[in-house]
Amino acid sequence: NAGVMQNPRHLVRRRGQEARLRCSPMKGHSHVYWYRQLPEEGLKFMVYLQKENIIDESGMPKERFSAEFPKEGPSILRIQQVVRGDSAAYFCASSDRSNQPQHFGDGTRLSIL
């Protein structure tokens, strides 16, 4: 499967725990984007990363959320001290250049108990 791979597909956490979401871009893609989809709402941009660099994080909450895309390995979206409002589907997309179409993974559904 050469598509964007996200894992886990489903993640359950209790309030106060940490959530780590992983995204492996399509082969040859070095640009990664994270979006959040809440029920009854559209996808909202969170952060745009290129290998080892954060290009735009203006859509990401200032506290508890962080993202990285290391030289080796997948991109990680990390949510610390999760709260019920963090429950959502988190999607990752990738592209080979910044002005090229973005291809999405199947998302991680995060549920907070």
- Alpha-carbon dihedral of residues 69, 73, 75, 81, nearest 10 degrees? -100
Residue of 26, 43, 54, 76 interacting with other proteins (CB under 8 A): 43
Q: Distances in Å between the alpha carbon of 1 and those of 11, 25, 26, 48, 95?
A: 22, 11, 9, 23, 16
The residue among 32 and 112 lying less far from other proteins, judged by its C-beta, is: 32
DSSP secondary structure string for all residues of 11-45: EEE-TT--EEEEEEPPTT--EEEEEEE-TTS-EEE
Q: Which stretch binds other proteins (CB under 8 A): 11-19, 31-39, 68-76, 77-85?
A: 31-39
39 binds other proteins (CB under 8 A): no
In whole angstroms, how close is the CB of 107 to other proteins at the nearest point? Answer: 5
Residue of 29, 30, 54, 59 interacting with other proteins (CB under 8 A): 59
Nearest to 25 by CA among 78, 87, 70: 70
Q: Which stretch binds other proteins (CB under 8 A): 11-19, 66-74, 75-83, 97-105?
A: 97-105
Can you give the binding site for other proteins, defined by CB under 8 A?
4, 6, 31, 33, 35, 40-45, 48, 55-56, 58-59, 91, 93, 95, 98-99, 101-107
